[in-house]
Amino acid sequence: MSKNMKRIAVYTSGGDAPGMNAALRAVVRTSAYHEVEVFGITGGYEGMMNGNMQKLEPREVGNIIQRGGTFLKTARSMRFMKEEGRNQAADVLKKHNIDGLIALGGNGTFTGAEIFSKEHGIPVVGVPCTIDNDLYGTDYTIGFDTALNTAVEAVDKIRDTAESHDRLFFIEVMGRDSGYLALHTAIASGATLALLPEIDTTYEALAEVLKTSAERKKLFSLIIVAEGNKLGKTSEIAEELKSRVGAYDTRVAVIGHLQRGGSPSGADRLLASRLGSNAVEALINGHKNVMVGIDNNMIKYTPLGIAIRNQKEINMDEVRLAEILAL
Ligand code: F6P
């Protein structure tokens, strides 16, 4: 165990994700197990610069494993993107004798953490918390499974009214520039099509699929639209395809921030507990500027820069599966 990891700080940053509280609980409890002091920073990088931090004891993270959101709050900070802001944060951490940081968040969080760590030499370990599942180096990010369940439940509800009215529904899901959430939602909800940022398509091709569906007497259809898809806004896509395929009345549903809330699934609680706990032990064992992830159910460390900059490929077998099962 590293002798010079006596006091660490943990924070949540960027878009919140179900399971962040479960991960925070694991960080605090594992720190106590190893007799390392842990401080919680409230409000992400803004809170770090303002010195909003307090010591956390194991009891203070009781009864939160089941709660969505993050009790440490989060924020997107423009100030931290400037060197002056990062210097201010470094002064705060130095004053509190912080030896290491644990960052819960996604791409943006890890980008700031990597720059900050290189400038000030404070070891950072990242825990991937985002519903987008867009971080390289981990099979899943914390929050993705819960968001998927939320999206599937919403699509199941839309299916009822789509079937009752013989309508074509365009259902937009989150995921920023990743199609993971849209693809898994499409397969799990039995949708006809998934429009993904990673897969180029045309209105002609889409119209062909829908015309074939109509010929096959498929009286209603569900199309899952990733918000980052290349064709455009979901409402525009619906209008364009309505004009090309006269067979259906169309409607649009945007699931939106529902996907960010709710009690984390069992899978996300387990993933959050494993990664949060391992992040503490990574710091104690001398690792720095890595993200802890899960690879074939094994813990894996990926340098932060690689986790951020490497593109996480969409699973083409799953794209093919979605097409086959939509027949
Ligand atoms: O990164 C998580 C995410 O939910 C994305 O899927 C989405 O595009 C974005 O955050 C929304 O950001 P905000 O909560 O700031 O509107």
CA of 261 to the centre of ligand 1 (A): 12
Query: What's 229's domain CATH number?
Result: 3.40.50.460
Q: What are the two backbone dihedrals, phi and then psi, of residue 44, each rounded to the nearest 5 degrees?
A: 60, -140
Active-site hit among 16, 91, 99, 132: 132
Per residue in 224-282, pLDDT (tens digit) is: 999 999 999 999 999 999 999 877 899 999 999 999 999 999 999 999 999 999 999 99
- Does position 1 have pLDDT exceeding 60, yes or no? no
Residue nearest to atom 10 of ligand 1 (CA): 15
The answer on 268 and 222 residing in a single domain is no
What is the C-alpha to C-alpha distance for residues 90 and 35, in angstroms, rounded to an integer? 24
Per residue in 68-117, pLDDT (tens digit) is: 999 999 988 899 999 999 999 999 999 999 999 999 999 999 999 999 99
Q: What is residue 53's three-state secondary structure?
A: strand
Most ligand 1 atoms within 8 A of CB, residue of 131, 178, 181 to mutate:
131
Per residue in 298-317, pLDDT (tens digit) is: 999 999 999 999 999 999 99
The answer on 139 and 19 residing in a single domain is yes
Model's pTM, two decimal places?
A: 0.96
Q: Is there a domain that residue 73 lies in? A: yes
- The count of domains in the chain is 2
CA angle 197, 313, 292 (to 5 degrees): 120
The answer on 215 and 162 residing in a single domain is yes
164 pLDDT band (50/70/90 cuts)? Answer: very high
Q: Backbone dihedral region of 256: left (phi > 0), alpha (psi from -120 to 50 degrees) or beta?
A: left
Residue range of the domain that includes 152? 144-260
- Which atom of ligand 1 lies nearest, measured to the CA of 17? 2
The answer on 139 and 149 residing in a single domain is no
- Does position 2 have pLDDT exceeding 70, yes or no? no
Return the axis-axis angle of helices 20-33 and 266-284, rounded to nearest 10°.
40
What is the full DSSP assignment across 131-168? TT---TT-S--BTHHHHHHHHHHHHHHHHHHHHHHTEE
CA angle 121, 123, 124 (to 5 degrees): 125
Query: What's 282's domain CATH number?
Result: 3.40.50.450
The answer on 268 and 212 residing in a single domain is no
Q: What is residue 123's three-state secondary structure?
A: coil
Q: Is there a domain that residue 314 lies in? A: no
Q: Is there a domain that residue 117 lies in? A: yes
pLDDT confidence of residue 297: 96
- Say if ligand 1 is within 6 A of residue 132 CB: yes
- Say if ligand 1 is within 6 A of residue 131 CB: yes
The answer on 132 and 170 residing in a single domain is no
CA of 298 to the centre of ligand 1 (A): 28
- Say if ligand 1 is within 6 A of residue 175 CB: yes
Q: Is there a domain that residue 45 lies in? A: yes
- Say if ligand 1 is within 6 A of residue 9 CB: no
CA of 26 to the centre of ligand 1 (A): 25
Most ligand 1 atoms within 8 A of CB, residue of 173, 180, 196, 260 to mutate:
260
91 among known catalytic residues: no
Q: What residues contact 164, with CB distance under 8 A and at least 6 apart?
A: none
The answer on 183 and 77 residing in a single domain is no
CB atoms < 10 A from the CB of 161, how many?
13
122 pLDDT band (50/70/90 cuts)? Answer: very high
Residue nearest to atom 6 of ligand 1 (CA): 175
The answer on 277 and 138 residing in a single domain is yes
What is the C-alpha to C-alpha distance for residues 18 and 126, in angstroms, rounded to an integer? 16
Alpha helices by DSSP H, listed for 139-265, are 144-165, 180-189, 203-215, 234-244
CA of 213 to the centre of ligand 1 (A): 33
